[in-house]
Structure 1
Amino acid sequence: MSHSTMASPAPLHRRGPRPLLLHLTLAMLRSSASIAGLPLSNGAWPGWNPRRNPDLARLAHASGDPDAFARTVFAATLAEDRALIAGIAAYRRHPWRRTLPDPPAIWSEGETRLLDYGGEGPPLLFIPSLINRGHILDLDEGASLVRFLAAAGFHPLLLDWGWPGERERRFTLTDYIAGRLDRALGAVAEKPILVGYCMGGLLALAAALREPRRLRALALLATPWDFHAVDPARAAALARLLPLMEPAFALGHALPIDWLQTLFALVDPYGVGRKYRAFATLDPESTRARRFVALEDWLNDGVPLAAPVAREALGGWYGDNTPARGNWLVAGLPVDPATLRLPTLVAAPTRDRLVPPASARPLATLVPEATLITPQAGHIGMIAGTNAETVLWRPMLSWLREV
């Protein structure tokens, strides 16, 4: 496959939520199950929960009209479907577009750049996930963690992994950590504080264990460690999907974006429907609506994952729980947080569905010099939600000023 076929695509014409057909199908199945389950009248189907729908519950048990409950459920189901379509349409026509310019790059290799946000204070080197664009940390005016920290007296740098080209699509985790990340670290003049977010936290942790003397401290934001802490059966089920992905790996040497989005949907199948129904009720001029659109644009503009990394992450992390079992190796050496001797911040958001607190919190126990904070937010809201400054940015700033 030629390099030109792997080039980063043009900016998205808004087409989310991705994959759209999957989310519409899930909504249809949910509605069909609700209506088909009416004769049972037992509350077991997705559309009816007596505690969330007390009016329906009263109809079910107190109405003298045996058909009233069915008519009410049917009408409520259709209303939810209309609200979902209205929310998707409102998102697609919203006028917001990200206009923040990228800062200059002080280092690059292949498709990867090290972006410099300026500032005279101690350097902070941010490591995002490999499967999303790094600008979640620099989302919009008033929604940029890196610009907030630059204004607070630090010198943030963001490792933008970029769109994986032909070379990157053959990378292993060791290639990323002991290779590209290690060389990016060498481009930073002073000892930085390494900050990893989500999957990027695992990369940052492994890099810190390799070269602790090159760092001042480490911060791990919503970083998974024990992949079997909450639902080992579901984690193992994700790993069992790997054989189905081999045709995609053979074609493009990577796991495509819509495959990745499908895996995320399996974690919370009806989550997209809920949030788009809620968005349909918002004033499109409001801050909440603008932030919703910004976050959804970021989510829908993902990055393919190199096939060797996908095999390691799904088969090793999710299938065998190699980090928590002490079996995850980078460049032949185990990644053992108990041996790290650096001040470390562990942020485990309490409402995180993607990285449950039970998966992230063990790092705070394993790392000897760890400080644990538990932001009252979700996985993405902690970083760029409307309350991010309160729940994460300022507590993190306080910790940074002390290390």
Structure 2
Amino acid sequence: MAYRGHPWRREMPDPPALWSEGPARLLDYGGAGPVALFVPSLVNRATVLDLMPEHSMLRWLSGQGVRVLLLDWGAPGAAERGFTLTDWIAGRLERALEAAAAATGGPVSLVGYCMGGLLALAAALRTPARVRGLALLATPWDFHAGESAPRARAAAGLLPGLEPLLSATGTLPVDLLQLLFAGLDPFGIARKFRAFGRLDPTSPRAAHFVALEDWLNDGIPLPAPVARECLGGWYGANTPAAGTWRVAGAVVEPRAWRGPSFLAIPRGDRIVPPESARALAERLPDATVLDVPAGHIGMAAGMKAEAVLWRPLRNWLASAVRPSS
């Protein structure tokens, strides 16, 4: 296969770590200006935000007047296999946020991508004094919005059959996660590889395809308690939109956020339907909403990502200021 034989390999050194706990690290991409702490999903590696030397959202922003930090969750070890969402948010994320604020001298903007947006929102509501602004990129909220309810309930319906595996291994393995995502667009895989086969293998576009595909194939297993909470709670019972999703006992209520917020909603998103993300925008009191002409991954790391997301996000980060209380 042309993809397997392509010579491109990711060989980018990681920036220095300001803090670490277990496999998690707070990476410092440098830059001068307002501080932005990026919070990725728990199920994919954070490298999608730092894809290639010549195509990295984080490195671009650090050169464009933003001090960029990244919470790299790492792969769950024995301890993390028992983590709930409360453990991740009220524990590890909040301690990383505390370290970021201490290292940079003040509150930071939290930038959450996909599932990371829900984690960032919950952390911002719990520790508002450390958060200057809240940027949510392709972040779901209403898991039953539009036509997504049957698909969400079908995903939740898999949970009983997965329970023996979750109990035996402590995780939802990467291969099963990839099958769940592939089911969202079962014919898309064949289409993208046919398109790749028509590219000049020496072109930047071919290298970019390989970089994204390598990232997609290098996932992270999801701890079993989180898998249960996401599949049964988020997808099955729609707990965020229903007002019943709790972190450390408290309901996660977007209307309680008092700072500025920025929501980027990709109109071609098959993973997070735009209606799901728009439901969150409607609940945030001071929301700037960006309609992005891209898909879920293309928005953050596609060939046109600089124009459709990176620049608007940079401009918002430069202007985001919490109102004085």
TM-score (norm 2): 0.95
Residues 342-387 of structure 1, C-alpha deviation per residue, up to 9 Å, x if partnerless?
1000000011111111111122211001000011001000101100
Which of 4, 7, 11 is residue 99 of structure 1 equivalent to? 11
Residues 84-138 of structure 1, C-alpha deviation per residue, up to 9 Å, x if partnerless?
xxxxx01110100001110011100011111011123221100000000011111
Matched, 1:167 2:83: no
SS in 1 for 2:212: helix
2:323 matched residue in structure 1: none
How many angstroms does 1:142 deviate by? 2.2
Residues 132-190 of structure 1, C-alpha deviation per residue, up to 9 Å, x if partnerless?
00111111022211111110111111000001000000000000000000111110122
2:221 matched residue in structure 1: 304
Question: For residues 213-362 of structure 1, what are the structure 2 equivalents within 5 Å?
Answer: 213-229=129-145, 230-362=147-279
Report the residue type matching 1:284 in the other structure. Answer: P
Which of 55, 69, 90 is residue 178 of structure 1 equivalent to? 90
Report the residue type matching 2:2 in the other structure. Answer: A
1:121 matched residue in structure 2: 33
Tell me how far apart the structure 2 counterparts of residues 360 and 291 of structure 1 sit (CA, whole Å): 27
1:387 matched residue in structure 2: 304
How many angstroms does 1:290 deviate by? 1.0
Residues 200-232 of structure 1, C-alpha deviation per residue, up to 9 Å, x if partnerless?
000000001111111110000000011111221
Matched, 1:90 2:6: no
Higher Rg of the two aligned structures: 1
How many angstroms does 1:278 deviate by? 1.0
For structure 1, which segment, 118-127 or 232-241, has the greater mean C-alpha deviation from structure 2 after superposition?
Answer: 118-127
Report the residue type matching 1:236 in the other structure. Answer: R
Tell me how far apart the structure 2 counterparts of residues 365 and 234 of structure 1 sit (CA, whole Å): 23
2:46 matched residue in structure 1: 134
Report the residue type matching 1:225 in the other structure. Answer: W
Tell me how far apart the structure 2 counterparts of residues 138 and 298 of structure 1 sit (CA, whole Å): 11
1:154 matched residue in structure 2: 66
TM-score (norm 1): 0.77
CA contact (8 A) 2:171 2:224 kept: yes
Q: What 5-or-longer segments of structure 2 have no aligned partner?
A: 321-325
Tell me how far apart the structure 2 counterparts of residues 113 and 221 of structure 1 sit (CA, whole Å): 21
Tell me how far apart the structure 2 counterparts of residues 389 and 294 of structure 1 sit (CA, whole Å): 17
RCO higher in structure (CA 8 A, sep ≥6) = 2
1:29 matched residue in structure 2: none
Q: Percent identity?
A: 63
How many angstroms does 1:398 deviate by? 1.4
Tell me how far apart the structure 2 counterparts of residues 119 and 390 of structure 1 sit (CA, whole Å): 20
Q: Which runs of 4+ in 1 moved over 2 A?
A: none
Tell me how far apart the structure 1 counterparts of residues 31 and 155 of structure 2 sit (CA, whole Å): 42
Give the root-mean-square deviation of aligned CA atoms.
Answer: 0.8
Tell me how far apart the structure 2 counterparts of residues 243 and 95 of structure 1 sit (CA, whole Å): 42
Q: What 5-or-longer segments of structure 1 have no aligned partner?
A: 1-88
Alignment coverage as a number of residue pairs: 315
How many angstroms does 1:399 deviate by? 1.2
